[in-house]
């Protein structure tokens, strides 16, 4: 398990982290989300030992990570970190050697990872000749080559087409299934919701929500149903508020969302809808991760976000 306890970090007057705590379990995929400048990259760099916290602790399996532990960690930064004139095969092999692998093992693992990520036929091309999406795949191969016990990825899906997203999602799921702890940041919240077991949401350097996604959604669910009648007629719902069945009704596409005054009155909504016409859709609404994110992260003025990188 990776455990972060009460991490703080300042860059001059900027408070980048203010008491960040989170845990990533082996065999789990953990989403780490927040707006630009919220502290995600800073947190990841501290977790990996690339940056020192002002206070707080990082534990791996209950103890501060040693150098040997860090050789079993895989990291994929958001920015490109590969040598542009070196072939994908050569540098993935090189990163394997840096982690302590024997030359033959590193070469075999590099070939396997590049094939797995769909780069087998481009493995000997210089990275600068690859598309941005394929450069992303090569960088992921470098993070995976040694079979890490902890995989930390910063915006790994950036620049990938839908096929590339599916390939990467499958690889990450396989890594978690073999027992690795996987944590990644992404602004693609639908991917985080689909792939991850847990999520941590950070804003302005503070954790504002965290835990199993299903639990967080259930805790914040408001009793509401979406109803659609054949033909798209919506005026039938207007009396529900006056009758005390609904707190509010609002149109959504071809249907109506009814916010219930009492969860038990969902059948009253259905009965009213049936009396008005043929019901083609009736569903209870549960907030998505995007809805949850919007709720817990208050809107700020649209101003440039502070950069998370360490000042030069």
The CATH number of whichever domain residue 103 belongs to comes to: 3.40.50.300
- Tokens 């990450």 belong to which residue? 172
- Asked whether residue 38 is assigned to any structural domain, the reply reads yes
Tens digit of pLDDT per residue, the chain (312 long)? Answer: 899 999 999 999 999 999 999 999 999 999 999 998 899 999 999 999 999 999 999 999 889 988 888 888 899 888 877 889 999 999 999 999 998 899 999 999 999 999 999 999 999 999 999 998 899 899 999 999 999 999 999 999 887 889 889 999 999 999 999 999 999 998 889 999 999 989 999 999 999 999 998 888 878 777 889 999 998 888 898 899 888 899 888 888 889 999 898 888 999 999 999 999 999 999 988 888 888 888 888 644 443 344 444 443
Same domain, 106 and 233: no
Q: Are strands 181-185 and 224-229 parallel, antiparallel or unpaired?
A: unpaired
- Asked whether residue 300 is assigned to any structural domain, the reply reads no
Phi and psi at 284, nearest 5°, equal -80, 135
- Asked whether residue 253 is assigned to any structural domain, the reply reads yes
Query: Which residue range forms the structural domain that includes residue 139?
Result: 2-211
Same domain, 32 and 166: yes
Same domain, 156 and 119: yes
Same domain, 162 and 232: no
Q: Dump pLDDT digits (tens) for 254-282.
A: 899 998 988 889 999 999 999 999 999 99
Same domain, 35 and 170: yes
- Asked whether residue 295 is assigned to any structural domain, the reply reads no
> Alpha carbon 170 to chain centroid distance?
15
Calculated CA dihedral for residues 262, 266, 269, 274, nearest 10 degrees = -170
- Asked whether residue 186 is assigned to any structural domain, the reply reads yes
Same domain, 113 and 240: no
Same domain, 162 and 281: no
- Asked whether residue 86 is assigned to any structural domain, the reply reads yes
Same domain, 263 and 164: no
User: Facing residues of 224 across strands?
Assistant: 259
Q: How far apart are CA 108 and CA 260, in angstroms?
A: 59
> Alpha carbon 150 to chain centroid distance?
15
- Three-class SS of residue 70? helix
Same domain, 198 and 236: no
- Asked whether residue 301 is assigned to any structural domain, the reply reads no
Q: What is the 3-state secondary structure (H, E, C) of 191-250?
A: HHHHHCCEEEEEECCEEEEEEEHHHHHHHCCCCEEEEEEHHHCCHHHCHHHHCCCEEEEE
The pTM score is 0.78
Q: How far apart are CA 286 and CA 42, in angstroms?
A: 32
How many domains are there within the chain? 2
- Tokens 């703080």 belong to which residue? 8
- Asked whether residue 298 is assigned to any structural domain, the reply reads no
């Amino acid at each position: 398990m990776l455990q972060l306890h009460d991490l703080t970090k300042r860059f001059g007057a900027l408070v980048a982290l203010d008491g960040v705590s989170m845990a990533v379990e082996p065999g789990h995929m953990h989403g780490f989300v927040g707006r630009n400048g919220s502290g995600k990259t800073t947190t990841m760099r501290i977790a990996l030992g690339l940056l020192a916290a002002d206070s707080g602790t990082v534990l791996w399996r209950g103890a501060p990570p040693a150098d040997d532990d860090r050789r079993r960690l895989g990291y994929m930064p958001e920015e490109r970190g590969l040598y542009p004139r070196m072939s994908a095969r050569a540098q993935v092999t090189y990163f394997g050697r840096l982690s302590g692998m024997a030359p033959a093992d590193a070469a075999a693992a590099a070939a396997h990872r590049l094939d797995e990520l769909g780069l087998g036929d481009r493995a000997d091309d210089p990275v600068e000749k690859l598309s941005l999406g394929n450069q992303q795949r090569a960088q992921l191969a470098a993070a995976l080559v040694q079979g890490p016990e902890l995989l930390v990825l910063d915006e790994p899906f950036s620049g990938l087409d839908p096929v590339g997203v599916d390939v990467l999602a499958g690889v990450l799921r396989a890594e978690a299934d073999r027992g690795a702890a996987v944590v990644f940041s992404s602004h693609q919240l639908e991917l985080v919701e689909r792939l991850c077991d847990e999520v941590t949401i950070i804003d302005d350097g503070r954790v504002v929500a965290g835990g199993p996604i299903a639990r967080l959604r259930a805790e914040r669910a408001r009793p509401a149903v979406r109803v659609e009648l054949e033909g798209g007629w919506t005026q039938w719902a207007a009396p529900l508020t006056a009758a005390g069945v609904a707190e509010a009704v609002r149109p959504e596409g071809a249907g109506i969302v009814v916010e219930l005054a009492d969860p038990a009155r969902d059948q009253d909504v259905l009965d009213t809808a049936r009396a008005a016409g043929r019901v083609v859709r009736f569903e209870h609404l549960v907030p998505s991760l995007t809805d949850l994110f919007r709720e817990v992260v208050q809107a700020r003025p649209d101003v440039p976000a502070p950069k998370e990188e360490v000042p030069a």
